[in-house]
Chain A
Amino acid sequence: MAEVSVTKDAAPAADELVALRNVNKHFGALHVLQDIDLTIDRGEVVVVIGPSGSGKSTLCRAINRLETVESGTITIDGKPLPQEGKELARLRADVGMVFQSFNLFAHKTVLENVMLGQVKVRKAEKSAAEDKARKLLDRVGVGTQADKYPAQLSGGQQQRVAIARALAMDPKIMLFDEPTSALDPEMINEVLEVMQQLARDGMTMVVVTHEMGFARSAANRVVFMADGRIVEEATPDQFFSHPRSDRAKDFLSKILHH
């Protein structure tokens, strides 16, 4: 619990980085995002939790427009998300994303995975990109695997490479879409530790996860979603010890007591 106070003190004064206003989306008849209002401040770590199918992954993917929304506005750093095209690509470069299934480029080595965006998108020099990639790989603890292909790595290692790949773009914010859900239990911690470190370093993060321990220790704010709505927003302490809504109480009773 000591970490909680550390991260909370580190959060700077309110400074809006991402804002969702009145966002709606359907998948066919399913109203997957309903009137979503959410603001994420610079340096804040927001953990989104909720039952499966509650729309939390869709919310996360909507922030960099991997999912389009039907109504409402999403702004990043004051700029509304543009249509598909060069401008959106530029904006996405500033928004790191980590996927449940890692999605490392299968035909590239680990090192190339981390260099590619720097060279092709940021137009960095190859040598500078390689230096930076190696430093980042060391930072997430897979420096020795640089020349292997993703398929030769364990899930936990792949996910840490994916985090390094996103960090290589110097993102303003990192989105994590269930980063540990596809991992074997013994590999979850190595990924969570990297994420904890990022949170301590002041990275703005949106984390969709089922890891309640991570939510407790690293989050500034917990957002609880159910049936496409944000049901409750609170600090982790408040949320886990005194949930206000019945829906949240029900959810917590199912996952915390067994």
Chain B
Amino acid sequence: MNVLLDHLPEFREGFIGTVLLTLSSGLLAMVLGVIVAGFRVSPVPPLRFLGAAWVTLFRNTPLTLLFLIAWFVVPVIFWPGLSPWTKAILALGFYTSAFVCEAVRSGISTVPLGQAEAARSIGMTFIQTLRLIVLPQATRTVIAPLSSIFIALTKNSAIAGAFSVAELFGVQKLLSDKGFAIVPIFLFVAIAYLIITFTISGLFRLLERRMGVAR
């Protein structure tokens, strides 16, 4: 117990770090994932190709490799001087966006084709059809897989700790390096992760109950 109480500021910083990292990369993944899912179902072949390539690339690359690329390749080729925070958000967000895209796409395919046909037949554009008719009806089916994806994201964010971003898992390394007993540290870190992931699944269960489309 002493380890926790004596190092409460570190634990707090780590906890807040993990929460912020999950929230911001989750937001990035949602935005990118929905856009890429739109690409994948669009009537324009180059966009469909782009969407498929995006998913193939980011879903099949180990996250650690993406972190290494964000750390050592992106600053050299694209933007030099990115903060570790930004790099971690980019790696996590891009990686997770591939999974969000596929979840959204599977949701889209549960909406009967006639809904989109009716929308197009009253003159809606593809984007209007997706935004106003298809996505709102896909939401309900997408919520359950999204919940799993965000829980995975929370845990994946631990990799950022190895890249010296202040987050929960990094606190464990910091304290064990100082020679404190490992077991209680691990226990506290695990409980902190549980708090975050339980909150996520609770929120999503609430959402799931709120959203229902009668057919």
Contact = CB atoms under 8 A, between A and B. Distances in A.
- Do A and B interact with each other, yes or no? yes
Interface of A: 64, 66, 84-86, 89-97, 99, 101, 103-107, 116-117, 120-121, 149, 151-152, 162, 165-166, 169
B77 interface: no
A83 B123 CA distance: 14
A120 B124 contact: yes
B13 interface: no
Interface in B12-55: 43
B43 A84 contact: yes
A120 B132 contact: yes
Nearest to B126: A84
A105 B117 contact: no
A106 B132 CA distance: 12
Given A106-B215, A121-B122, 6 more contacts: A89-B120, A89-B125, A99-B114, A107-B136, A107-B213, A120-B124
A210 to B, nearest CB: 20
Nearest to B131: A120
Given A101-B114, A106-B215, A149-B214, A92 B128 contact: no
B118 A105 contact: yes
Interface string B191-213: 00000000000000000000001
Contacts of A92: 120-123
Interface centre among B118, B122, B123, B214 (most CB of A within 10 A): B122
A107 B121 CA distance: 18
Interface residues of B, number: 22
A116 B112 CA distance: 19
B128 A120 contact: yes
Interface of B: 43, 112, 114-115, 117-126, 128, 132-133, 136-137, 213-215
A123 to B, nearest CB: 11
30 contacts: A66-B117, A66-B121, A89-B120, A92-B122, A92-B123, A94-B123, A96-B121, A97-B118, A97-B121, A99-B114, A99-B117, A99-B118, A103-B114, A103-B117, A103-B118, A104-B118, A105-B118, A105-B119, A106-B115, A106-B137, A107-B136, A107-B137, A107-B213, A117-B122, A121-B123, A162-B118, A165-B118, A165-B122, A166-B121, A166-B122
A66 B120 contact: yes
Nearest to A151: B214
A110 B102 CA distance: 32
A52 B83 CA distance: 65
A225 B128 CA distance: 35
Given A105-B115, A106-B115, A120-B132, A152 B214 contact: yes
B115 A90 contact: no
Given A84-B43, A99-B114, A149-B214, A64 B121 contact: yes
A138 B144 CA distance: 41
Contacts of B118: 97, 99, 103-105, 162, 165
A94 B122 CA distance: 8
A117 B214 contact: no
A99 B133 CA distance: 17
